[in-house]
Each structure stands twice: as structure tokens, then as C-alpha cells.
Amino acid sequence: MCAWDSWWSRGVVMENEEIKKYIDLASENEFPYMLIDWQWYGMYNKPEADVTTVADQLDMPMIIDYAKQKNVKLWLWLYWTDVTRNMEKAFQLYESWGIAGVKIDFMALDGAEMVEWYHNTVKLAAKHHLMVNFHGAYKPTGFRRTYPNLMTREGVLGNEYNKWSYMVTPEHNVTLPFTRMLAGPMDYTPGGFRNSLKGEFKPQINTRVMGTRCHELAKFVVFDSPITTVCDHPENYSDQQCVDFLQQVKTVWDDTRVLKGKIGEYIVMARKSRDQWFIAGMTNSDGRTFDIDLGFLPDGINNLRIYRDCEATKKDATKLEFEEMKIESKDHLSITCAPGGGFVGIISK
């Protein structure tokens, strides 16, 4: 899991104290990473842009030291043409800083020369012990199997589009598992906690998301990304009970089961990490009740903690309820979701 500075949710605030807030968010919730997004090296997409320098207002040694004290590793955003001019020197520098990875953006091409650039970039990043997240990228084609430091990529219409469009609907979200997700990991950037019912949503800053809080939580299980970037501002996570789910959910899995699904209508999945199962479902703008066969579970008594929509959700998309119960593999679970809703559960022995 990776905290992400305020470009997405509140506009660019590239200042030392603001970055420290996100490092604190990552540390408090045991996220391994924090991403410093654009403008950390000042101007970008300019011939004079230099990815080996730091914007005047930032104290990078202090930020790196602060993150180290908090047990958080840093990622850096880069505009692709800026880093291409000086990639060897830049990656060597980032390695010396102890940077964990780079998010490279705005390529927006998929011709032969660009594909070669992707391969060369990931290979050089591996040489300098850097993970890679490609944004403004074409969809995956499988070469992350050759370069395991290629963790994820965008190539998806994700939460970012809520800033300026009405396109990120519940229908869109329950289509992605059957389309884009088949190609490989996608950095959708889930975790918007300013949740809106569909009819109340409008693009704005501070950015909102369409769908219920449980619909948003379900994305962390349904959508696959080994580096999952959590998109919202620390203030919007403060005092929210369901933040404990973000502390527990995983980003890599030992087993995956698709329990129910219909393109554009709903999806229910279960994923296993060690001895825990995480189960999640999302629905489109129609409310529905799921009857879930728990036969995938091991024999014996299991503990389930479930987060789901409730009656209050129909008026306030941020509302949800918790319940803990004992379940067995022979049982069926009945869960009702609000329009644009969902659920998540953690199952342990």
C-alpha cells in the first residue's frame, strides 16, 4: 500500500509539511510506501526540466530522513521525457537516496520505439534496485514476468477522472474486472472517502467518488495492483472506523476465486493471503442481495468481520455497518448492497 500526495484529491501542495502528512498517514496505517507526485523537481515537460534537482521549497534530505524514521519508503513521480534525457544519472541518484520506486507518466504511445523504451527503462530501473509504476501507459502485455520490478501501471480510467468527469460510475467499476483487469495489474488508485450517491455526485475539488463507502473498500480486493496507491487526503481518513480495513488488506494474493459476476452489473471475489481470505463485492446502480456459497473455505469454524451497506447508506453514501460472526464452509452468506454499493469481509481461522 502506498499513500499519495494531494494532487488527486486537493490540488498540488508541494511543500515539506504537506508531504510529511502523507508520510505520517502511511506510517500510522502501516503502509510501506509514500509517493511524492509531480512538481517535486519543479517544472516538468520542459527542455530545461531536471529530474536530478529538487524544487527550491523542498528539503529532500529532511523528507528522506523523516520517512526513514517513520519506516516508510518513498516513490518519485517523473514525466517520461524529463527522465529519458538523464535516466542513468537520475536512477543512480535515486538509488543513493534510498528511493523505492519511480512512477513514470504521460507516455501515451505504444509504437515499436515506445515499447523498446518501456523495456529499457524497466531494465535500467532494476539495475538500480527501483520498482516501476507506468502511468499514461498502454495496457499490460505480460513483460512484467521478465522484469519483476515492474509492479503495476495505469492504462485504466480510474479514480483520478472523478476530478473532471462523470465517467467513473458504479457500472464502469463492475465492468473493469471483465475487461482491463484481464490484461494485468492496474493502478486505479482506490480509496476515495468522500463518497457520493450517483445522483448527488459532481466533479469538484475536494474530489468526490461515485458509490458507497463499501463499494470503494471493495476495490482494494477486486482490483489487482501489487502496489496499491491510496488516493485520498489524510484528513478524509481521520476518525473513520473502516480505515482499519486498509491496514489489514493485502496487495498480493496466493489464491483468487470469482464467486459471482455479470459484466457491468456486479462482481463478487474472494482472495487468499496466507491463512486469511478477503471477500468483496460491488454492484452497479441497482441495489441487490448476494447469496454467497462459502464452500471455498477450509473446514471448521472461521471468524468473519464484514463491512457492508446499511439502511442509512441510501441517504448517506459514507455510512456502513460492521458485523462479526462465526461461519463454516457449509454456510451461505446473504448480503444486501445499496445502489452503487458493495461489501468487504475478512475471514480468519
Looking at residue 177, its pLDDT comes to 98
Residues 6+ apart with CB under 8 A from 115: none
- Identify whether residues 79 and 29 lie together within a single domain: yes
Query: Residue 78: pLDDT above 90?
Result: yes
Residue type, 298: P
Residues contacting 119, CB < 8 A, separation 6+: 143, 147
Co-location of 186 and 326 in the same domain: yes
Torsion of CA 111, 126, 43, 165, to 10 degrees: 60
User: pLDDT tens across 110-126, in order?
Assistant: 999 999 999 999 999 99
Among the listed residues 5, 37, 82, 160, the single catalytic one is 160
Question: What are the beta bridge partners of residue 74?
Answer: 34
Residues 151 and 210 in one domain: no
Which of 155, 176, 194 is the last residue before a domain boundary? 155
Q: Of the listed 5, 37, 82, 105, which one is catalytic?
A: 105
Task: Please say if 160 is a catalytic residue.
Answer: yes
Residue among 18, 70, 86 nearest 102 (CA): 86
- Tally of domains within the chain: 2
Where are the alpha helices (H) located in the chain, listed in sequence order? 7-10, 16-28, 60-69, 80-84, 87-97, 112-127, 170-173, 213-222, 234-237, 243-248
Q: Quick check: pTM over 0.95? A: yes
In a domain, 292, yes or no: yes
pLDDT value for 312: 96
- Show which of 127, 155, 183 is a domain's final residue: 155
pLDDT of residue 292: 98
Q: Confirm whether 286 is a catalytic residue.
A: no
Model confidence pLDDT, tens digit, residues 211-268: 999 999 999 999 999 999 999 999 999 999 899 999 999 999 999 999 999 999 999 9
Indicate whether 295 and 343 sit together in one domain.
yes
Average pLDDT of the segment spanning 71-87: 98
Residues 177 and 145 grouped into a single domain: no
CATH code for position 13: 3.20.20.70
Do 268 and 290 meet the contact criterion of CB atoms below 8 Å apart?
Answer: yes
Q: Are residues 93 and 214 in the same domain?
A: no
Using an 8 Å Cβ cutoff, are 137 and 186 in contact? Answer: no
Instruction: Report whether 319 contacts 310 (CB < 8 A).
Output: yes
With contact defined as beta carbons under 8 Å apart, do 309 and 337 qualify? yes
Return the pLDDT at 10.
Answer: 85
Phi/psi of residue 138, nearest 5 degrees: -75, 165
The stretch 48-60 carries a mean pLDDT of 97
Domain of 132, in residue numbers: 1-155
Mean pLDDT of 160-183: 97
Confirm whether 238 is domain-assigned.
no
Contacts of 93 (CB under 8 A, 6+ apart): 52
